[in-house]
Structure 1
Amino acid sequence: MLQHSNDAPSMVAVRPYSGPVQVGPDSVPDAIPDQMPDQMPDQMPATSVQARCRAVNLAPHRNNVGSTPATDTRGGAFNIWGNSFPAEELPAPGQFVVDQVAYDFPPTGRGTADNVRAAGQFIEVPSGRYDWLYVLGAAERRVEDELAFHFADGSVDFEQLRLSDFWAAPGWFGETQVRATRSMHYPFHVQAGVPAMLWSQRVPVTRRAALAAVRLPRNPAVHLFAATLVLSGGEGR
């Protein structure tokens, strides 16, 4: 079930608003554009929590080019207009910590698929009992849709996945804002002052049983760069 809010910000013009997004010299740390720190001050690792994190392997399912280098923006395809994230402002490949949750961020800006555009993919996960599924991504306009948790005993639970807009808009669902870039990439130019948004969101795993897989919704507006499961308390194995 694909749901888009009709009152989402226009994909053609961005109007000023008061919100958490800042555009300009103070919008990101001074290390940009040369290098974005992998961990912001409020994203420092907590060893005890990271020990409970299990990265979900999205590599076999990546099917979309969501980031491009400023020198070649033509290959981007995050949305139907060919916009993309500036790769120079995204996290470096490898471990990236947000809200004490460790993500495995993919390589970006190489012209190859770096995110999963949701098309009903069945994604096997490390078996275990979990409290949360965390995702790092964004939507083409804000999106609410169902994903399915498949458990080892054959049971299936459905939960809501809610992701805010990739396009220069404040968070709608209370997620953590991970990036508000200084520019947006278009197929033939770089548009300064129009931020692309990256979010960290979570989905509860309420059943007390071993999780085996996650099925994404069939919704091309949902894009995931990384996903991590957090083990239930006392299961830090």
Structure 2
Amino acid sequence: MVANAIIRCQSTMGPFSDYFPTRLDKGEWHGWGSRQMQALAVAGRVFSHPEWIRAAERCALNFASFLIPGFGPIYSFNPSVISYPKIAYAMEPLVSGYTELYRATNDKGYAILAAISASWFPGNNELKEPMYDLKTGRGYDGLEKDYINKDSGTESTVCSLIALADILELPEEYSNYLKLRSIEAFTPIVLEAELMNPGLGELNAEVSGSAGGKAMASLSDDELLKQKLVLKKGDYSVYCIFDGSRADGHLYYLLHHNKGNVEVRDEKKHMVKLPSISIDKDGKYTFVIKYRGRGEVSIDQVLVVPNTTWRIFRMDKIGIALIYGNDVDLSAFTSGNIETLWKRNKVTIKRFILNPNLVEQAKERKEIVMKKAVTFEETKDFTILDISSFFNNDGIASFKHPRYGNFDNHSGIYGATYPLEELQNYMNENGRLEVDDIPFVLKGLEGHMKNNTALQGEKIYLPEGRYSYIYFLGSSEHGSFRAPVTFEYSDGSRQTDDSGFSDWCQGPQLGEKIACKMPYRYDSNGSRQSITCYLFMQTLKLAPKKELITILLPRKNTMHIFAITLRKSVEGKRLHIGGNR
């Protein structure tokens, strides 16, 4: 029967135990539509086959319950862990699987796990934003590392509705778990090799469509990669995903007092478990991996997996701990009694009263911002800011080096870019870019340099003065975005306005003016791509009679700013002329 065939496929690979592979020959798993746990629970209940229910429980208590507090609803592994996008079509089968296990066993733990999983839709996710629009009934297509894809395909909407309906059909007490929001977690670490530090050497990266970050790092004899990690006391399993088909040697690793090696010889891409490590105290550590031997090895990822993972959720003043592994000391979160709601195998769910200070921190927590004064240049009518000290993104490449830069790929090292040679056509003999009569200074155009800031809540301290307008030169990627910008004046007053940029490959949609229109861009492979791209100028009105002292930019790193210029007010004298504040 089909159910027995599904059970025979149940597999274990690396840290993933008792999952149902999409492709058995490669051990590959995809989250979308992975309904084997749900199917076995339903079939076992309907046809009175307890062994089918037990197989579903093995998946629920191992693979599924490891994902929720750990990696989250990953997209796939092959064996590389593809974390993004996180999609409704992967989360809903988890919710439905747990729900059907509750119906088959009447075990309340599965109902709680179903509701915790479903809380991802109202906003219990990395971005703390809803994946379901309550007003329109639309489900969004994907949660990326830094933004939400708000396209709404049929499967996303249907899966969102199914997941939420599943929870609402459970006893009312379980729907309260939809209010959960994560406040702290101890989860596996995925190191993308191409983003690690090569030390004194030069990183040799190669594009790979099947790699976790769409690229791998190649190491020849005596070359290494290293990465700083923040680890807690405890034991860890370490896995390395690499292609050794061109290698004959060993991979050596070092972390704190732990070290070991594995043989690498004529093997295609696969996952290898390195010797386990033990950390004796919380702290910062450097992980180093080095190759010694003939040929070269291509490393995709290193997974550092705690033997115990956990996540703490808040629901008003109540704390909920979801633990996979051994018991966890929760004294940092509560000084009261701790109730064990449920425990099966490695999975424990606990409830407690949160410490009052944690409740307040959760309500008032603010994003950490980069705070800096900026240099500037004066003209008769304008103050032109140099914001290069805030730059964190290289979004421009030239025909000489078309693979330099990465404007839009948040999960890898290669991305699409603006063409420098087209941008330079808009610049005057003084090296400025002018839109109408408004001058901007662009920095970091030559070489592999940062030339814009993907907004992360920067606070800019200004040359104190009176200004009537502020002009932003920039664009968005992966869609058009708005977010609030806050201006602070010397009298203590504040002004907050919504500002935004349209997508760089679409025309203006948010009231901007086109600053530059370029007939092509460079793609992530460095090829010229016939897609028109734009830089926009966005304008906001200021209080002209007040002294402006700071600008607080939003935390929305799909919005990029390349330059900022202020128009001087005619309402009064400037207090500072030239130089740094």
**TM-score with structure 2 setting the length:** 0.32
1:216 aligns with 2:553: yes
Amino acid at match of 1:180: K
Amino acid at match of 2:387: L
Q: d(CA) in 1 for partners of 2:148 and 2:480?
A: 6
Please tell me whether the aligned partners of residues 489 and 547 of structure 2 are also in contact (alpha carbons under 8 angstroms).
yes
Q: How many residues were matched structurally?
A: 195
Q: d(CA) in 2 for partners of 1:72 and 1:139?
A: 23
1:152 aligns with 2:481: no
Q: For each residue in 1:73-113, what CA deviation from the matched residue of structure 2 results, as whole angstroms up to 9, or x when unmatched? A: 32321112611101111134832221211111224141110
1:36 corresponds to which residue? none
1:115 corresponds to which residue? 452
- Among 535, 539, 543, the residue aligned to 1:198: 535
1:4: Cα distance to partner?
A: 7.0
1:23 corresponds to which residue? none
Q: d(CA) in 1 for partners of 2:474 and 2:562?
A: 5
**SS state of the match for residue 509, structure 2?**
coil
1:85 corresponds to which residue? 418
Q: d(CA) in 1 for partners of 2:568 and 2:406?
A: 34
**SS state of the match for residue 96, structure 1?**
strand
Q: For each residue in 1:97-156, what CA deviation from the matched residue of structure 2 results, as whole angstroms up to 9, or x when unmatched? A: 212111112241411100111101111112111111101111112111001102122222
Relative contact order: is structure 1 or structure 2 higher (C-alpha 8 Å, sep ≥ 6)? 1
1:212: Cα distance to partner?
A: 0.6
Q: d(CA) in 1 for partners of 2:538 and 2:460?
A: 18
1:18 corresponds to which residue? none
Identity %: 24
Please tell me whether the aligned partners of residues 545 and 572 of structure 2 are also in contact (alpha carbons under 8 angstroms).
no
Q: For each residue in 1:178-215, what CA deviation from the matched residue of structure 2 results, as whole angstroms up to 9, or x when unmatched? A: 22212111121323421121111111213731001111
2:4 corresponds to which residue? none
- Among 90, 99, 102, the residue aligned to 2:436: 99
**Distance change (3 Å), C-alpha of 1:135 and 1:198:** same
- Among 467, 470, 474, the residue aligned to 1:130: 467
Please tell me whether the aligned partners of residues 103 and 226 of structure 1 are also in contact (alpha carbons under 8 angstroms).
yes
Amino acid at match of 2:555: R
1:185 corresponds to which residue? 522
**SS state of the match for residue 389, structure 2?**
helix
Which has the larger share of helix?
A: 2
Q: d(CA) in 2 for partners of 1:214 and 1:139?
A: 19
Q: d(CA) in 1 for partners of 2:497 and 2:486?
A: 6
Amino acid at match of 1:103: F
Q: For each residue in 1:35-67, what CA deviation from the matched residue of structure 2 results, as whole angstroms up to 9, or x when unmatched? A: xxxxxxxxxxxxxxx622111220111111010
Q: d(CA) in 2 for partners of 1:58 and 1:138?
A: 16
1:162 corresponds to which residue? 500
**SS state of the match for residue 221, structure 1?**
strand
Q: d(CA) in 2 for partners of 1:163 and 1:222?
A: 7
- Among 75, 78, 93, the residue aligned to 2:404: 75
Q: Which runs of 5+ in 2 are unaligned?
A: 1-128, 130-145, 153-378, 575-581
**Distance change (3 Å), C-alpha of 1:216 and 1:193:** same
Q: Which has the larger radius of gyration?
A: 2
1:161: Cα distance to partner?
A: 1.1
Aligned 1:25-40 pairs, distance under 5 A? none
Q: d(CA) in 1 for partners of 2:380 and 2:390?
A: 25
**SS state of the match for residue 220, structure 1?**
strand
**SS state of the match for residue 147, structure 1?**
strand
Which has the larger share of strand?
A: 2
Please tell me whether the aligned partners of residues 513 and 536 of structure 2 are also in contact (alpha carbons under 8 angstroms).
yes
Moved >6 Å (runs of 4+): 1-5
Please tell me whether the aligned partners of residues 139 and 164 of structure 1 are also in contact (alpha carbons under 8 angstroms).
yes
Q: d(CA) in 2 for partners of 1:236 and 1:134?
A: 21
Q: d(CA) in 1 for partners of 2:542 and 2:557?
A: 23
**Distance change (3 Å), C-alpha of 1:112 and 1:103:** same
2:387 corresponds to which residue? 58
Please tell me whether the aligned partners of residues 138 and 165 of structure 1 are also in contact (alpha carbons under 8 angstroms).
yes
**Distance change (3 Å), C-alpha of 1:109 and 1:134:** same
Amino acid at match of 1:151: Y
**Distance change (3 Å), C-alpha of 1:209 and 1:89:** same
